[in-house]
């Protein structure tokens, strides 16, 4: 039986155009998250994202990624490969340390993943959050702090789950505008 993946085409993108190197930057944080989930270490995840972006840049410069639609797949596969390689290296290192009685090697603790936000970024986020409505702030807090799903949030706030998703989506878009998040290179950061 064939199964479907979460594959969605981007209808507005000019997929035939060659990607620009600056487009790689929009993948930096997703790459770090991708690697952090697998390798459980934020520092190593940063190294992985850097390595994948370097490979991506080299591929762009060499013309190996001919169109924009091929870039995400190229980076995704490269990230999978790099993570697998790192994971194997870590396992080999752990076995070697254990063999020599150095003690158990623990991969990076989960708390390393909390260092994702610099002080400056946190201040800017706090200021941007203040521009949202109380309801929007509450929805973000219940979603990302309390980790409630839309149904539970809807029950708490007396809304429909669909309305919660729409408001959350809108709040994230507003914050992105305030913070100058740039979905692609032609949208300059306004932060």
Partner 1 sequence: MDEKPTVIECPKAADRDLTPLYLAGKLSRAEAEAFEEHYFACESCRMDVGKGSEFRAYFGKPAIVPVGRPPRSRRPWLRLAAAAAIALVAAGVWHWTRSATEMQSVSRGAEARIDRIAITPRADGGFDVSWPARLAAAAYAVEVFGPDGRRFWKTETREPHVRIEASVLPPQPTGRIFEVRVEAIDPAGQVTASGEASIGTDP
Q: What angle do CA 165, 167, 172 make, to 5 degrees?
A: 95
Total residues at the site for partner 1 (CB under 8 A)? 67
**Residue number, 61 or 123, with CB nearest to partner 1:** 123
135 touches partner 1 (CB under 8 A) = no
Angle at 131 (CA atoms; ends 147, 188), nearest 5 degrees: 95
Give residues with Cβ within 8 angstroms of 20, minimum separation 6: 60, 185
Question: For residues 94-123, which are near partner 1 according to CB under 8 A?
Answer: 94, 104, 106-107, 110-111, 113-117, 121-122
Q: Judged by CB under 8 A, does residue 3 bind partner 1?
A: yes
DSSP letter (8 states) at residue 111: G
Question: What are the residue ranges of helices labelled H in 62-103?
Answer: 70-99
The footprint of partner 1 on residues 159-178 (CB under 8 A) is: 162, 165, 168-169, 172-173, 175-177
How far apart (Å, rounded) are the C-alpha atoms in residues 87 and 80?
Answer: 10
> Does 29 interact with partner 1 (rule: CB under 8 A)?
yes
Cβ pair 68, 18 in contact under 8 A: yes
Residues recorded for the chain: 191
38 binds partner 1 (CB under 8 A): yes
Q: Which spans of this chain sit near partner 1 (rule: CB under 8 A)? A: 1-13, 26-27, 29-30, 33-34, 36-38, 40, 42, 69, 72-73, 75-76, 94, 104, 106-107, 110-111, 113-117, 121-122, 125-126, 129, 140-141, 143-145, 147, 149-150, 162, 165, 168-169, 172-173, 175-177, 181-184, 187
């Amino acid at each position: 039986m064939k199964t479907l993946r979460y594959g969605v085409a981007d209808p507005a993108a000019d997929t035939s155009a060659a990607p620009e190197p600056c487009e790689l930057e929009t993948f930096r944080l997703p790459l770090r998250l991708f690697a952090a989930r697998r390798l459980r270490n934020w520092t190593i995840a940063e190294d992985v994202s850097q390595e994948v972006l370097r490979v991506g840049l080299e591929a762009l410069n060499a013309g190996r990624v001919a169109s924009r639609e091929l870039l995400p797949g190229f980076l995704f596969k490269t990230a999978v490969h790099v993570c697998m390689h790192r994971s194997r290296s870590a396992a080999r290192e752990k076995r070697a340390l254990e063999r020599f009685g150095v003690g158990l090697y623990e991969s990076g603790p989960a708390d390393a993943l909390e260092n994702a936000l610099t002080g400056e970024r946190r201040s800017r986020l706090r200021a941007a959050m203040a521009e949202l409505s109380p309801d929007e702030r509450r929805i973000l807090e219940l979603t990302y702090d309390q980790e409630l799903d839309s149904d539970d949030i809807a029950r708490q706030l007396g809304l429909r789950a669909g309305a919660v998703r729409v408001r959350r989506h809108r709040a994230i878009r507003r914050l992105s505008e305030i913070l100058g998040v740039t979905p692609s290179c032609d949208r300059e950061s306004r932060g």
